Structure 1
Amino acid sequence: MSDVEWVDEEAGPVVRPYALTGGRTRPSTTSFELLSMVVATGAAISPRAHLGSEHRRLLGLVSKARPIVEVASEAGLPLGVVKVLLGDLLDHGLILVRQPIPAATSPAQSLLLEVINGIRAL
């Protein structure tokens, strides 16, 4: 077998996703959906909370409310990993999660068309 270099020097350190989650593949809660909104509570991190650098980085990314899918994209991590890490943050009371608004409660298409037509008339 030849010596094949899988990453170049610019790629930086490579950490497997399961190493970030301690081997866990599921979050501690099932309340996470792709469009669930996540925001940091601003609570102090307990000294007993064993949070890694990725947990802290995610906390910085959710200083303003953002959908989970956007957080995963910004962090450059797989969605499953982000859900596990966010589950840890939720367990420690460091984030709040709001479920997406169901489609049935969104405005009717006719109302949206009226608004668009009204804007065009301006």
Structure 2
Amino acid sequence: MRRPGRDDAPDRLYTLTGGRSRSGHGSPFDLVTLVVAESEPVPGMQSELVTILRLAERPVAVVELAAELRLPVSITRVLLTDLLDQGRVSARHPRTATPAGLLDPNLLEQVLVGLRNL
């Protein structure tokens, strides 16, 4: 069943990704991976790639990009992998963006004990 306002036709998705349906093994992109543009779009670039670079001027999650593009996450991941391979975006998982000492298990245990004592 087709959804209003969406062009999910298989031939369009096939064209967007050059026939690829997966981003490959070891892809750094999951739903919450933060993507940041590392360059400006260039003339002649595919419109979806231009949109990704514009949206990723500030860190944005893969799932948000897919929603804005109105594309399946799997297709968005393929496009992001292309941009990553070209050095046009960087990717990092939110956990790697957290300072090392912020989630110290001992500190969390002490907080839990303190809450139980209340």
**TM tier, smaller:** 0.5 to 0.7
Whole-angstrom distance in 1 between the partners of 2:84 and 2:48: 14
Tell me the CA shift for residue 79 of structure 1. 0.1
Amino acid at match of 1:68: V
Would you tell me which structure has more helix in proportion to its own residues?
2
Q: Which runs of 5+ in 1 are unaligned?
A: 1-5, 115-122
Q: Percent identity, please.
A: 35
Q: Max radius of gyration: which structure?
A: 1
Q: Which runs of 5+ in 2 are unaligned?
A: none
Following TM superposition, the consecutive aligned residue runs of length 4 or more in structure 1 with deviations greater than 4 angstroms are 11-15, 109-112
Counterpart position of 2:57: 63
TM-score, normalized by length of structure 2? Answer: 0.67
Q: Does 1:40 align with 2:37?
A: yes
Pairwise CA RMSD of aligned residues? 3.1
Residue deviations 1:52-87 (CA, integer Å, cap 9, x gap): 111111111111101111111121110001000011
Counterpart position of 2:18: 22
Whole-angstrom distance in 1 between the partners of 2:110 and 2:63: 29
TM-score, normalized by length of structure 1? Answer: 0.65
